[in-house]
Structures are given as C-alpha cells and as structure tokens.
Amino acid sequence: KAGVTQTPRYLIKTRGQQVTLSCSPISGHRSVSWYQQTPGQGLQFLFEYFSETQRNKGNFPGRFSGRQFSNSRSEMNVSTLELGDSALYLCASSEELAGFRGGNEQFFGPGTRLTVL
C-alpha cells in the first residue's frame, strides 16, 4: 500500500495570508490526525478526523481548521498566518481496529514545511 501523502511538501507564505495543506491517508484508513512540529514546542496535536467528523481538537487558535472528505482525504487550513506558524505540519492516519481501542499506531506522512515571512 502507498503511504500517507502530503501536498505540497514546501510552502512559503507571508504574514496575513492563508494556506491549505492536503493529506491523503493510507488506503482503508479512516482516521486522520494533524500535528505541528516546531523546534521550540516539539510535536503538538492539532486535530483528528474520523468519517468526516472532528473527533478531537488540540489547543490551537481558531485560525487553524480542518476537514475530512468522504474518501478520507483531509485538509487543514490556517488563516491570517503569523510568523509563529512556521513549522513542519505532519499528517497521520490509522486503521480503526474493532475492539482494539487505544493500541493502533499512527502512520505519518513526510510533512509540509511551511515558512511564513
């Protein structure tokens, strides 16, 4: 199976702009999560989607939003970009295993490197 894919791989934006990042999960995976990785804050959870519904949300401002489509592909959007939004944004997918809650691993994509100038 193909792995998790993310597009684009690199983005350069300026403050105030908005950006949309895309993620295609592993075929058959219906759960998609997003994380932000920065040198200062490490890996921080943004949100999680399952069957087009947001199942969990991290502690980020409302400028960060996401959605999931019926084919499990997901997008995240950041509006009114700030310098501090510069980061590697990672998408991860997992397979929902019946009766195995909590123990399923997530598979990560290569990330989108966002630079805000």
Q: Name 107's Cβ contacts closer than 8 Å, sequence gap at least 6.
A: 3, 4, 26, 29, 92, 93, 94
Binding mask 69-108 for another protein (x = CB under 8 A): ---------------------x-x-x------xxxxxxxx
Given the rule CB under 8 A, which of 11-19, 54-62, 70-78, 79-87 is the region that contacts another protein? Answer: 54-62
For 6, 38, 112, the CA distances from 60, given in Å and listed in that order, are: 21, 14, 18
Of the candidates 19, 36, 48, 87, which one interacts with another protein according to CB under 8 A?
48
Task: Report in angstroms how near the CB of residue 82 gets to another protein at its nearest.
Answer: 23
